[in-house]
Chains A and B, each alone.
Chain A
Amino acid sequence: MTWLSKSPWILHYDASSCNGCDIEVLACLSPLYDVERFGIINTGNPKHADVLVITGGINEQNREVVRNLYDQMADPKVVVAVGICASSGGVFRECYNVVGGIDCIIPVDVYVPGCAARPESIIDGIVKALSILEEKKRGTHISQAPRQGAGGLR
């Protein structure tokens, strides 16, 4: 973690998760995993955040909320989709109200697999995201075009 030049702050939003991944994201803050030792703080303010962590898939009502949160964050920013629902819609992708994974609304940098994703893999995903953040800051990151609806149905 020596390349970190600042403390990355995280904004967590529960899109349409079952809470399984949410509580694992919160568990990363608990004394066993304690990501705060790296200066990672879970903030509620999108303007303060560098990393957007989203659990759960996009549905009809929250697509604007997610878009809005992403737009409010300052550049450079990275998006981490935590759990299989956030990555592709998961077991709920056939539900009538679920649009699909996060990547049908905003570009995603890191996908964390699992149902529910384990705290270790969430931390791993965020560490990967931080190196992408650093690349974006230096301007060396080759951005992927948003995979419009790649994991979703619509």
Chain B
Amino acid sequence: MSKKIIMPFGPQHPVLPEPIHLDLVLEDERVVEAIPSIGYIHRGLETLVAKREYPEYVYIAERTCGICSFIHGMTYCQGVEQVMNLEVPERALYLRTIWSEYSRLHSHLLWLGLFADAVGFENLFMASWKAREFVLDVLEETTGGRVIQGSCKVGGVRRDIPCDTLDRMVKDLDGFERELQDIANVFLNDESIIGRTRGVGMLSRDDAYYCGAMGPTARGSGVGIDLRMTGYAAYGKLKFTPAVETGGDCYSRCAVRVKELFTSIDLIRQAAAKIPEGEIEVKPKGNPDGEYFSRAEQPRGELVHYVKGDGTKHLVRSRIRTPTLTNLPPLVKMLAGCELADVPVIVLSIDPCIGCAER
């Protein structure tokens, strides 16, 4: 029995794109326990509701996280709209769905690139990020921003996508899908990736459920939770089945995200085919009075925006719960018993977004 040593990992660390600190308790090369500590990027933006009026707070909500910014803005708007009983026009709901799915594509491709980098596959990192630029170009063309879109507002959306642009977007998806198939083929079948990820960072179905895993982390362990099934925005009118894998290892979590890329493309095609003509926004009247618990599926899992208003221009409380926070307890489970050299891959496999988690 060797002596236990504690090795600090982070906040600034070559393999970490974002600051999280882990104290790894080691016995030789084996991790016995991982103790996370967070707070390096805490800003306290929830308190800004007292200083910004409720329609202005959308841009703060969007800046909770730069990767899934659109979905943050949308979830906040959904909450306020429910409190104010606003009937959002159908076309706006479809546009929100399309932009959400493009955000998911860009987030998953970003993650796949970082994951390939953690495995040591530089070429694949470049391929994923090259494919991602296509998505960013579409987002920039339709909303004006590459990563922070700012196109959602209380009562609808700020911009419409003209029909001919939408047709071209759908047409362009064909070539993009072929490119993704090549990348997906490598992620799912490459020997070195399978060797690095199969059986690494195991999370059983029960652990995933009881630790509160969300999104691809849960679906990689066989827990089929997908908030899009609740039918918010226009998801209720589109057909899809969530990707679920039962392996519970890093490979399964990667496979879930690879499959979701194609689900997203399919959802964009369906939404573009069904989108009705009409208005894209309604003007909110009065101020929100009441509370609502708004939920949506972010690329990383379930996102919750709680809003509470008291009839004034300023909300009383905004509370955000992000999927990375709920995925940290499962991460601690995965890390216990792994080898030190596998830590970067396992930490990345939950797709940590510390910017969201700490706000």
Contact between A95 and B69, CB atoms less than 8 A apart = no
Q: Are B133 and A32 in contact (CB under 8 A)?
A: yes
Closest chain B residue, CB of each to CB of A43: B14
- Residues of B contacting A69 in the complex (Cβ-Cβ under 8 angstroms): 12
* Interface pick from B43-51, B151-159, B273-281: B43-51
Contact indicator A18/B66 (Cβ below 8 Å):
yes
Q: Determine the chain A residues whose CB is within 8 A of the CB of B121 once the complex forms.
A: none
Q: Interface code A12-25, partner B: CB below 8 Å = 1, 0 otherwise?
A: 01111111111110
Q: Which residues of A contact B126 (CB under 8 A)?
A: 30-31
25 contacts between A and B (CB under 8 A): A13-B19, A14-B17, A14-B355, A16-B42, A19-B65, A19-B356, A20-B67, A22-B355, A24-B146, A24-B147, A26-B17, A29-B129, A30-B130, A30-B132, A31-B126, A31-B130, A32-B130, A32-B133, A56-B41, A62-B11, A65-B40, A91-B59, A91-B63, A96-B44, A97-B43
Q: Given A27-B129, A31-B126, A91-B63, verify A20-B43 contact (CB < 8 Å).
A: no
- The interface residues of chain A, by DSSP majority, are classed as loop
Q: Provided the pairs A18-B355, A22-B18 are in contact, do residues A65 and B67 lie with their beta carbons within 8 angstroms?
A: no
Q: Are B14 and A44 in contact (CB under 8 A)?
A: yes
User: Which A residues are CB-close (under 8 A) to B59?
Assistant: 91
B17 contact set on A, CB distance < 8 A: 14, 22, 26
Task: Assess whether B45 is in contact with A92, with CB atoms less than 8 Å apart.
Answer: yes
Which A residues are CB-close (under 8 A) to B60? Answer: 91
User: Given A14-B41, A46-B12, A96-B44, 7 more contacts at CB 8 Å?
Assistant: A20-B66, A22-B355, A32-B133, A45-B14, A98-B44, A115-B148, A116-B145
**B353 within 8 Å of A (CB atoms):** yes
Nearest CB in chain B: distance from A9 CB, A: 12
A108 to chain B, nearest CB (A): 18
A14 cross-chain contacts in B, Cβ below 8 A:
17-19, 41, 354-355
Whether A116 lies near B43 (C-beta < 8 A) is: no
Q: Is the CB of A62 within 8 A of B19?
A: yes
> Counting CB contacts under 8 A, is B264 at the interface?
no
For A30, the chain B residues whose CB sits under 8 A away are 113, 126, 129-130, 132-133
Contacts of A29 in B (CB 8 A): 129
In the complex, which residues of chain B have a beta carbon less than 8 angstroms from the beta carbon of A96? 44, 47
Minimum CB–CB distance from B15 to chain A (whole Å) comes to 7
Q: Contact string, B156-187, partner A, CB cutoff 8 A, digits 1/0?
A: 00000000000000000000000000000000
* Chain B interfacial positions (CB closer than 8 Å to A): 11-15, 17-19, 39-45, 47-48, 51, 59-60, 63-67, 69, 110, 113, 126, 129-130, 132-133, 136, 145-148, 353-356
A19 CA / B324 CA spacing, docked (Å) = 14
- Docked Cα-Cα span, A152 to B297, in Å, equals 35
Complex contact A31–B43 (CB within 8 A): no
Q: Is the CB of B12 within 8 A of A65?
A: yes
Identify which of B12, B66, B129 contacts A44 (C-beta below 8 A): B12
> Of B41, B47, B113, which contacts A15 at CB under 8 A?
B41
Asked whether A20 and B353 contact (CB < 8 A) given A31-B130, A45-B14, A61-B40, the answer is no
Determine how close the nearest CB of chain A comes to the CB of B291; give it in whole angstroms: 23
Q: In whole angstroms, how far apart are the Cα atoms of A115 and B145 in the complex?
A: 9
Shortest Cβ-Cβ A-B pairs, 6 listed: A20-B66, A44-B14, A30-B129, A19-B66, A19-B355, A16-B41
What B residues does A115 contact at CB under 8 A?
63, 148
Residue of B nearest to A97 (CB): B44
CA distance A69 to B133 in the complex (A): 31
* Other-chain residue from B13, B41, B129, B132 in contact with A17 (beta carbon distance below 8 A): B41
State A72–B40 Cα separation when bound (angstroms). 19
In the complex, A57→B44 CA distance in Å?
A: 12
Chain A residues near B41 (CB-CB < 8 A): 14-17, 56, 59, 62
Q: Which chain A residues lie closer than 8 Å to B42 at the CB level?
A: 16, 59, 61, 97
Report whether B66 and A17 are in contact in the complex, using a CB–CB cutoff of 8 Å: yes
Q: A32-B130, A59-B43 are in contact. Are A23 and B67 (CB under 8 A)?
A: yes
Given contacts A14-B19, A94-B48, contact A23 B66 (CB under 8 A): yes
CA distance A27 to B11 in the complex (A): 21
Name the A residues within 8 Å of B43 (CB-CB).
16, 57, 59, 92, 95, 97-98
CB distance from A69 to the nearest CB of B (A): 6
| Bound-state Cα–Cα, A53 to B41, Å | 16
